Amino acid sequence: MEVVQVLHMNEGDGKTSYTTNSSVQKQAMLKAKHMLEESITELCNSGSFPECIRMVDLGCSSGPNTLQLVKQTIETVNSICKRLNREIPTFQVFLNDLPGNDFNVIFRSLPSFYEQLDLCKDKCFIAAMPGSFYGRLFPDNFLHFVHSSYSLHWRSHVPEGLRTQSGSPLNKENIYISKTSPPSVREKYLDAFRKDFRLFLSSRSAEMVAGGLLFFTMVATDDSGGHRSTVWELIGITIHDMVLEGLIEESKLASFDLPYYAPTMEEVRQVAGEEGSFELQSHEAFRVAWDSSGYAAGIGNGHGCTRGKRVAMNIRAVGEPMLASHFGVEMMDGLFERFAAKMDEHLKLNDGLGVAIAISMTKK
Ligand code: SAH
């Protein structure tokens, strides 16, 4: 499976699109908002103010969150400028994602976005920069601010070594690390994360100016040990149920591994320390509810939609293109109906809270 070809969120702005079902990610951005504002304030206070701030949102996807981030950044910088009685800088904003991303959904909303912005239009220029952030995207010494929200848990490739020497899969009945996975599976995923994240940091290091700000949030794993189920583990269990029902072939499940890894805070800090180009400024871990999807579409609580269904809608918007390319488009309705029911059962006994981290670093 070539990740670049199959990893993209559901396009357009219909019922199952990412645009309609991205409120879990919005929730994470809101939780990290205060920390981002503090980091931008420090950036502005720390050195000379560029006349043109060049920034990028890495893994912008196709929903409303990316323009919300742009708005929030401009508002924060503007209020600092007003306070310091300085001229407001120009913003050159790049929206980055893999080439399969539906950038046009964002472009179509640009006219109304510019209208809402408390800034004259020739002060903010927005463009797309398609490509993988695991590698170079910009010239040397170019960016002042790099942002990424809820994207760095995606791997560039399926981890290597998830098969024994004889070719049998190590994580046969699962699609991601789960309770029944052998410990070596987690190690292979961690290896893949370490390689990717190192490449991410060295690429950004070349592209950013000294003192530039790198701020990101991502899905993470609790440092405190013990196994906590993830939504992907429950997707794997649902696919396994469909194998037992005779709907999906066992070999299809055995040959699918999710290109994803949610690291612990310590794992992130360790790779950053080893790579060495960035100085850690602040970091925070917080909980994000799995089921806030659906509010944006007006079909959340009070509209006859269960919590399980809301989780299913968010995960469908994120994972459907990738899962459909392997298991078949015709399996998707059945998979997400069963998953919603399983999630409702799970949420009777569990809090349905995932872990996320926000990290702020500056380029040395
Ligand atoms: N930041 C957005 C989107 C999060 S979804 C928000 O908060 O709503 C994660 C996005 O990361 C997806 O659109 C996915 O295509 C993108 N992504 C994953 N791996 C990527 C890579 N290697 N390079 C660029 N984008 C990537």
In sequence order, the 6+-apart residues with CB closer than 8 A to the CB of 342 are 234, 237, 238, 241, 308
Structure tokens at 221: 């794993």
Considering only CA atoms, which residue is closest to atom 17 of ligand 1? 59
Token pair 């990740």 is found at 3
Q: pLDDT band at 300, cuts 50/70/90?
A: very low
- Cα 154 from chain centre: 7
Considering only CA atoms, which residue is closest to atom 10 of ligand 1? 59
Q: What residues line ligand 1, using a CB cutoff of 6 Å? A: 7-9, 22, 25, 29, 59-61, 63, 65-66, 96-98, 101, 132-134, 149-151, 154, 156
C-alpha 212/C-alpha 207 separation (Å) is 10
Q: Is 280 left (phi over 0), alpha (psi -120 to 50) or beta?
A: beta
What is the value of pTM for the model shown? 0.90
pLDDT for the residue 120: 66
Average pLDDT value for residue range 285-300: 63
CATH number of 3-363: 3.40.50.150
In percent, the amount of the chain with pLDDT more than 70 equals: 92
Digit-coded pLDDT (tens) for 166-189: 777 878 888 898 888 888 888 999
Mutate to test the pocket of ligand 1, among 31, 36, 61 (most ligand atoms within 8 A of CB): 61
C-alpha 211/C-alpha 338 separation (Å) is 49
Quick check: 78 pLDDT over 60? yes
For the chain, counts of helices (H) and of strands (E): 12, 7
**Contact of 10 with 316, CB cutoff 8 Å:** yes
**Adjacent-strand bridge partners of 213:** 145, 362
Digit-coded pLDDT (tens) for 229-260: 788 999 999 999 999 999 999 889 988 999 99
- Whole-number Å distance, alpha carbon 267 to ligand 1 midpoint, is 20
Least confident residue range of 58-67, 132-141, 258-267, 298-307: 298-307
C-alpha 74/C-alpha 117 separation (Å) is 9
Quick check: 36 pLDDT over 60? yes
- Report the nearest atom of ligand 1 relative to the CA of 155: 19
In sequence order, the 6+-apart residues with CB closer than 8 A to the CB of 155 are 3, 189, 192, 193, 196, 259, 260, 261
Digit-coded pLDDT (tens) for 150-165: 999 999 998 887 887 7
Structural domain boundaries in the chain: 3-363
C-alpha 112/C-alpha 180 separation (Å) is 49
Digit-coded pLDDT (tens) for 316-336: 888 888 899 899 999 999 999
pLDDT for the residue 296: 43
Mutate to test the pocket of ligand 1, among 72, 95, 98, 195 (most ligand atoms within 8 A of CB): 98
C-alpha 93/C-alpha 52 separation (Å) is 10
- Whole-number Å distance, alpha carbon 6 to ligand 1 midpoint, is 12
Least confident residue range of 37-46, 54-63, 105-114, 190-199: 37-46
